[in-house]
């Protein structure tokens, strides 16, 4: 009676979305605001467009051709965070606030 049943006929579950590793939700800003990144190596702070932020870190756009160390200071308004660049793709970098108790790194 069911000889023509094929496993490929089963409903397939929807594809899983990319696993979210962030501790806190991010707010997209698309470069409308900027932050000051201090490389802590004697150079002047670098102004960078802020792409998104949360209580645990930011994603920002670095100027072309500028090398920055892993450990930096990020100033947003009058608030300064000890931070670490945890990933970089071209000019975009993910920065974790390591002075926050819930840092993921």
Per-residue pLDDT, 54? 87
How much is the average pLDDT of 5-18? Answer: 53
Q: 3-state class of 61 per DSSP?
A: strand
Per-residue pLDDT, 15? 53
Can you read off the two tokens belonging to residue 59?
A: 């994603």
How much is the average pLDDT of 63-78? Answer: 92
Provide, rounded to the nearest whole percent, the portion of the chain with pLDDT above 90: 50
Domains of the chain: 22-97 (2.40.10.430)
Nearest-angstrom CA–CA distance, 21 and 30? 21
């Amino acid at each position: 009676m069911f000889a023509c049943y094929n496993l490929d006929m089963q409903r397939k579950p929807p594809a899983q979305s990319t696993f979210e590793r962030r501790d806190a939700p991010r707010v997209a800003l698309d470069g409308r605001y900027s932050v000051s990144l201090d490389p802590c190596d004697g150079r002047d702070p670098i102004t960078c467009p802020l792409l998104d932020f949360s209580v645990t870190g930011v994603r920002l756009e670095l100027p072309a051709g500028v090398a920055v160390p892993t450990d930096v200071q990020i100033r947003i308004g009058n608030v300064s965070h000890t931070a670490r660049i945890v990933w970089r793709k071209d000019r975009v970098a993910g920065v974790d606030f390591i002075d926050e108790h819930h840092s993921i790194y």
